[in-house]
Structure 1
Amino acid sequence: MISFDDRHGPADAAPATAYPDLTVPSWYRDAKLGVFVHWGLYSVPAWADVLDRSDVTAQNAYARHQYAEWYANTVRIDGSPTRERHERIHGVGHSYEDFADDWHPADDAVPRIVDLARRAGARYVVPTTKHHDGFCLWDSATTPFTAARRSPGRDLIAEFASSVREAGLRLGLYYSGAHDWHASEFPPLTSNDELFASRRNDPEFAGFAAAQLRELIERFSPDLLWNDIDWPDAGKDDGPDSLQELFRAHLTATPDGLVNDRWGVPVHGVLTREYQDIAEVQEEAFESTRGLGLSFGYNADESAEHALDGAALIRLLADVVSKNGNLLINVGPRADGSIPELQARALEELGEWLGRHGEAIYATRPWFHEAVRVPPEGVRFTLGVDADRRAVLHALLLDPAAGPVTLDEDVSAAVREIERVTGDSGPVTLTPDPGEQIVAVVTLSLR
C-alpha cells in the first residue's frame, strides 16, 4: 500500500462539485481504533526479504520489497530474493496464482480474527477484499479467480461481514482499484513511477473495477470503502460507472458511510498515512495505518525485532489519537487464519489497557492550542468527558516509569487557561498512578 493523494488523475476527470459530500462521520471520529486484515494468496508463501535491510536502495527496493502482500510482483523480478526462494521451495513451474489451490483456511478462521479485533478494543474491521494480485475474497460474478471458486471454496468477505456485525463492530472493505495483476499484462513494477505508469486506465478495466466495487456495496453495505493507490482514469469522468456514482451508491446503502483518500480524484474522505510519524496536531481527521511488523501480509521471517510489542502499540495509539487520528493497525494472519503470537499478544495488551483507560481515547477530540501543536515530549493530550458528562482534559504520560512530568512554561500556561489547577502560577506537574506501567492517564477537570 502506498498513498499518493496529491495525484488527481486526468485533466478531464469530473470536478470536485460532481461528487457527493464526503464529510467524515462522527461514528468514525469516535471509533479511534480499527483492525486491518491482510489475508490472501500471499499468506501461503508468507515471505518477504526482511532479515537484512542494510543494502536496500531506491534502485533495488521493489526487488527487496518488505511487504509480503507484494509477493506476486516481487516474485516476477529477475534476480530478486523472492524469485530465488520461490523456485527453490515451490518449484520453477509453480506460479503465484497456483497458490489459489494451496490455500486452505480453517473453518473458524474469520470469527477468530474478528474476536481478536473486538478484544483489542477495535471499533471497526477492514479485511482486504482484493489486493493487487487480483484474487477476490468474495464470490464475484466478474471473475472465477475467487476464494469461492478456488480452494478455500468460501465467500470469506460474507463471513467477515457476518462476524463483524455480530460482534457489534463497523465493517470496512479494502479494495485495490488501480492494480489487478491477474487482469493486466504489464511487467513487474520496479519503481514508484511505474506504480502509476504501469496500470490499466482503459474503459473496459474501469467498468470491471466498477462492477466489483458495486458488488461489494450492494452485498455488504460497508461502512468504509478503503481504496488503495488510485482508480482507473476512465472511471473518473461522467457516466453510470463513474466513481462519483459509485460513491453515491455507497452513501445510499450506508448514509453514514465514508471513503478514504486514495482514489486519485480532487475530493477525499478520511486522509490516510502509511507507516508515517505525524509530528503535529492536525486540523483534519486522518487515519494512520501500518502493520504490527514491517509488512501487512504475514511474513514468517518476521520476529520480535521487527514488531511492535504491546507497550509500543499503546503509545502509538495515544500519539495518533492525540493528533486527530484513528489508528488502523494491521494483522496478517497465517494461511489457515491463525494470528501469530507476536501480533495477538500485542493486540490483547492493547485491549487490556483500553479496558482501563478507554475514556481517554474513544470519542475524544484533539486539544488545539499553539503551545501543544507539537506535543511536549512524553505527554499527549485528548479532550473528552467524564462519567458525569463534564468536560475533561486527559494527559497521557507515555513513560510512567520516568515519574512525574513537569510541563514547560508555555504548556503549563495553556493548561491553566482551561483547567482547574490549584495555585495561581508556576509549572504544572503531572503525576502518574504508580500502578500503571505502560501509558498513564492523568485526567484534569475543565473550567
Structure 2
Amino acid sequence: MAPETNLAVAQAAADIVAKQIPAGPVQPNWSSLQAYYTVPAWYTGAKFGLCMHWGLYSVPAYHNEWYEKHMYGSPAIAAWHVQHFGLQDTFGYKNFIPLFTADQFDPEAWATLFQQSGARFFMPACQHHDGFALWDSKVTPYNSMQMGPHRDLIGELAIAVRKRGLKFGFTNHQVENFQFINPPKEMLDRMKAAKADLFDPAWVNFYHVADRSDSACKAFLVDWFNRNVELINKYQPDMLWFDNGIDQRFLDPMKLMVAAYYYNTAKQWGKEVSLNTKKAAFAPSGTNIATIGSVLDFEGRGPSGIRTGVWDVDTQIGSTWGYTTGMKVAGAGAIVTRLIDIVSKNGTMMLNISPKADGTIPAEQQETLLGVGRWLKTNGDAIFDTHNWIKAREEGANGNKIYFTVKAGALYAIITGKWPAGVVTINSLPASIGKVAGVTLLGNNGKLAFSQDANGLTVTLPANPPCDIAWTLQITGLKMNEPTTTPTGNPIPGYPYQ
C-alpha cells in the first residue's frame, strides 16, 4: 500500500528535504550507502527481541489492527462499527482518539517485563497505517501528547527500556497512510456533501482521503521524512524498521534521504545503528540477497532452511498483531519452539505483543513472555551470540526434533517435543564427523555419559529435565564451522549448507 505515485513526485519531495541531510559519510545514493554500511555488532548476536502494535485500533479491539481501513471499506466490519459506535459520518476513526487513554500504562513495569522475557531489544510501532503518532511531535498535531493519552508514549518507553540494558528502536508503518482508506462511492459522496469525518476540514490531513493529488502526495512524503527526522533526533533509535509500504522502487529517493539522515546523525552520536526492511525495499537490484544499508526482515515466516548473513523474522504472540477481544495467544512452549527454529537457521526473532488501549499488557501475554524468559535463563547460551551449524535440525525419535546452533567452538543440540526416556541419539553426529570430547545438559550439573558410533551420538539423560519446554545439550570436541554473519547482512555467496 505504498502511495500510488511515481518517481517524479518522490524526487520532487526528495529535492525539498535534501538540504536537511547533515554532513557525514553517507550521501543519499546507493553506492555511498553501500560503502559505509555495516550491520551493528550488537544486533548480530541479539537473536531475540520484541516489537509491539498499540494504537487507536486497540480501542475497538475488533477484527485486527487494520480496523480503520475496514470500518470504511468492508461491509461486515462497517456494519459492526455502526452497530457499536454509530454511523461513520458522526463517529469516524478520529473519534477513537479520546478513548485511547493509556490510563493504566506503566512504562517501568513494561520494561521490567521485557527484561524478564530475555529480549535484547524492544521496538514498538511509533505509528501504524493510521498515522497517529505515539510521541510528542511538533511535525504532526495528531499525536499522543496533544491528544488521547496526553503522554509521550515512545519517549517514556525509550527511557525505561534503555535503563534496563535493552536496545531501543521502533517500527514505522506510516507511509501506507496516504491511501489506506478507500470507502465506497456512496459513503464518499455523502461525507463530501456534508463535510463530515473524512472531509471535515480539521481532519483532512489525518485521513488523506479528500485530496490525493500529486501535490498532496508530495506534501505527504515530505511530512513522512520530517516525522522520521523528528523521531531520529528525539529518541536516537538503535534500529529503525519500515513496513512493506516503502518497497516500491519509485520511493527510492525518499528512502535514501532517510537513510543518509539516520546514518550521518548516528555517526555524530557514536552509535551503531541500522535500518530494518522487507523484501527488496533496500535492494535496488530487486533481489533480497543484495540488500544495501539494511537488515532484511521476513514477516511471519522466515526462510525454509539456513540463510547466512544477518536477518530476522517479525512474528506475533497472538492471532492478531494489535489487541483484539478474544484473541488467541501462543504459550511459551510454542514461542520458544519458534525462536529455536529461527535461530537454528541463523536468524533473529522479533516477537510482537499486543497491549490494550488502557495501557495494560494482558495476563496471558505476560505469562508467555515470562515463560520464554525462564527458558532463556537456562538455555540462553544456545541462542544468544550463536550462528548456524552445517544443518538446522534433524528429526528425532518419537516425534522429537533436534535443532543445532554453534558458539565458541561448541555445538548445541536443542531437543523439542517430549522429554526423551533414558537416552537420545543424534544421528547427525556419527563417529566419522569427529570425536566428541564431552556432553553436558544446560541447567544440569555434571557431564553426561555418551557413546559415539556409525549411527550417531547417543547420550544418557538424567531422569528429570532441567526445564519444561526444550532441552539443550552442549557438545564439545568437534571442529565447528566459522560464524556465518556478514558485514552487509547479505548471504555468503556459494555457502554449501541449507
Alignment of 1:248-397 (within 5 A): 248-252=263-267, 253=269, 255-262=271-278, 264-266=281-283, 267-302=292-327, 306-367=328-389, 369=390, 372=391, 375-376=394-395, 378-385=401-408, 391-397=409-415
8 Å Cα contact 2:221/2:254 also seen in 1 = no
Distance 1:276 1:10, change over 3 A: farther
Q: Please give the alpha-carbon distance, in whole angstroms, between the structure 2 residues aligned to 1:107 and 1:113.
A: 11
8 Å Cα contact 2:130/2:180 also seen in 1 = no
1:204 is displaced (CA, Å) by 2.0
- SS of structure 1 residue aligned to 2:73: coil
8 Å Cα contact 2:282/2:294 also seen in 1 = no
1:439 is displaced (CA, Å) by 0.2
Task: Return the TM-score normalized by structure 2.
Answer: 0.73
Deviations 1:6-59 (A, max 9, x none): xxx9599875314253332221122111111111111111111xxxxxxxxxxx
Q: Please give the alpha-carbon distance, in whole angstroms, between the structure 2 residues aligned to 1:317 and 1:47.
A: 28
Q: Please give the alpha-carbon distance, in whole angstroms, between the structure 1 residues aligned to 2:454 and 2:244.
A: 51
1:292 is displaced (CA, Å) by 0.9
Deviations 1:67-125 (A, max 9, x none): x2111111111413x22221111111211111111111135432222221111111100
Letter paired with 1:394:
Y
1:414 is displaced (CA, Å) by 8.5
Letter paired with 2:402:
V
Instruction: For structure 1, list consecutive stretches of 5 or more residues without a partner in the other structure.
Output: 49-67, 190-197, 386-390
Structure 2 match to 1:56:
none
1:443 aligns with 2:482: no
Deviations 1:142-184 (A, max 9, x none): 2111000112111111101111111111001111242125xx5
Alignment of 1:105-116 (within 5 A): 105-106=102-103, 108-116=105-113
8 Å Cα contact 1:235/1:242 also seen in 2 = no
Structure 1 match to 2:33:
19
1:87 aligns with 2:116: no
Q: Please give the alpha-carbon distance, in whole angstroms, between the structure 2 residues aligned to 1:309 and 1:351.
A: 12
Distance 1:414 1:225, change over 3 A: farther
Alignment of 1:97-108 (within 5 A): 97-106=94-103, 108=105
Deviations 1:349-375 (A, max 9, x none): 1111111111111111211x2xx2564
Q: Matched residue pairs, number?
A: 397
Alignment of 1:63-82 (within 5 A): 68-80=64-76, 82=77
Alignment of 1:124-273 (within 5 A): 124-181=121-178, 187=182, 202-231=217-246, 236-237=252-253, 242-252=257-267, 253=269, 255-262=271-278, 264-266=281-283, 267-273=292-298
Indicate the percent of aligned positions where both proteins have the same amino acid: 27
Letter paired with 1:297:
G
Letter paired with 2:54:
W
Q: Please give the alpha-carbon distance, in whole angstroms, between the structure 2 residues aligned to 1:38 and 1:360.
A: 29
Q: Please give the alpha-carbon distance, in whole angstroms, between the structure 2 residues aligned to 1:290 and 1:167.
A: 23
- SS of structure 1 residue aligned to 2:114: helix
Deviations 1:193-247 (A, max 9, x none): xxxxx998943222111110011111111101011113386763289x8234224
Q: Please give the alpha-carbon distance, in whole angstroms, between the structure 1 residues aligned to 2:435 and 2:218.
A: 56
8 Å Cα contact 1:129/1:137 also seen in 2 = yes
Considering only aligned residues, what root-mean-square deviation do their CA atoms show, in Å? 2.9
After the TM superposition, which of the residue ranges 99-108 and 121-130 deviates more from structure 2?
99-108
Alignment of 1:35-46 (within 5 A): 35-46=50-61
Task: Return the TM-score normalized by structure 1.
Answer: 0.81
Letter paired with 1:46:
A
Q: Please give the alpha-carbon distance, in whole angstroms, between the structure 2 residues aligned to 1:150 and 1:331.
A: 23
1:120 aligns with 2:117: yes
